[in-house]
Structure 1
Amino acid sequence: MKISDLLKPNALVADLKAKDKNALLEELTDALARVEKGLDRKLVVDVLKERERLGSTGIGDGVAIPHGKLKNIDHLMLSFGRSRDGIDFDAMDGRPAHLFFLLIAPEDSVGVHLKTLARISKLLKNPQVRERLVQAADGGEIYRIIVDEENNL
């Protein structure tokens, strides 16, 4: 499953307004709800907060991949956000996160959920890709970078 197959341009936030983890989870859930009609916002945010209580999804190098699983959905859902200022996400390296992929998976998914997390991690492992995403002018450019770089994986 390709990231570009899951991420719709309308679920991308080029300039996040959030200043903390909880606000970020809400803002990216709202972005997801723009393309996933009928999504239960409160349930999604609660699932994400519960996952964060287990351990931060801030993986370091300015990246966080908040994720969770929901009953009653039948496909993966993805949104993306960028914070130029950065948000403290309790990352392993202690630095703020600037790039966020929010992934919601069906409760019974295992393989495809993990493969998608791994694909996102692989994409953002490259420091040049991270820098290009942070410096991109707008959401359209961010989306093009993700598509182009994913084709190089």
Structure 2
Amino acid sequence: MEISSILKPEAVKVISAAFSKKRLLNEMGEIAQSVYGLDAAKAIDALLERESLGPTGVGRGVALPHARVEGIDKVLGIFVMLEQPVDFESVDRQPVDLAFALFAPKEDGVEHLKALARVSRTLRDENICQKLRANGDAATLYTILTEDQSVQAA
């Protein structure tokens, strides 16, 4: 699975005003609505419900919030870079500045897991994270996220 198949360029944002985990998840829900037409409240509730099971901050400043939602037929992604890192209750207790959210169909299993694995592999790559953090332009961030996967696969 390629990141470009789940992430639209307009779903990549640089955010300066998310000062908490909850505010970040709210921003992601609003992006899901404006880019993919998801109901923002349902998207936010789904993310918060998933977070209640255990934080999705995976360490080294990266979070992978994800949720299953009604009314979609494929996995959808949102990438956000925060100008000010927020506490995300990550496994390493480090604040998060890179977050990639995934929304999967309610009944989907395999595609959701493939997407989560792909995004996780990408954001575990320290070189990619360094490139992302060195850029503040959403179009450049999208290019980094989608171009580096072909290099990894080779």
Q: Same fold (TM over 0.5)?
A: yes
Q: TM-score, normalised by structure 2?
A: 0.94
1:109 corresponds in structure 2 to: 108
Report the residue type matching 2:77 in the other structure. Answer: L
Instruction: Provide the rounded CA distance (Å) in 1 between the counterparts of 2:74 and 2:62.
Output: 24
Residue 16 of structure 1, CA deviation: 4.0
Residue 112 of structure 1, CA deviation: 0.8
For the aligned residues, what is the CA RMSD? Answer: 1.1
Contact 1:16 1:81 in 2 (8 A): no
Instruction: Provide the rounded CA distance (Å) in 2 between the counterparts of 1:45 and 1:148.
Output: 29
2:119 corresponds in structure 1 to: 120
Instruction: Provide the rounded CA distance (Å) in 2 between the counterparts of 1:51 and 1:15.
Output: 22
1:68 corresponds in structure 2 to: 67
1:80 corresponds in structure 2 to: 79
1:10 corresponds in structure 2 to: 10
Report the residue type matching 1:89 in the other structure. Answer: F
- Unaligned stretches of 5+ residues in structure 1: none
2:25 corresponds in structure 1 to: 25
Secondary structure in 1 matching 2:15: coil
Secondary structure in 2 matching 1:152: helix
Contact 1:16 1:27 in 2 (8 A): no
Instruction: Provide the rounded CA distance (Å) in 2 between the counterparts of 1:137 and 1:50.
Output: 30
- Unaligned stretches of 5+ residues in structure 2: none
Secondary structure in 2 matching 1:44: helix
Contact 1:11 1:78 in 2 (8 A): yes
Give the length in aligned residue pairs: 152
Q: TM-score, normalised by structure 1?
A: 0.95
Instruction: Provide the rounded CA distance (Å) in 2 between the counterparts of 1:129 and 1:105.
Output: 24
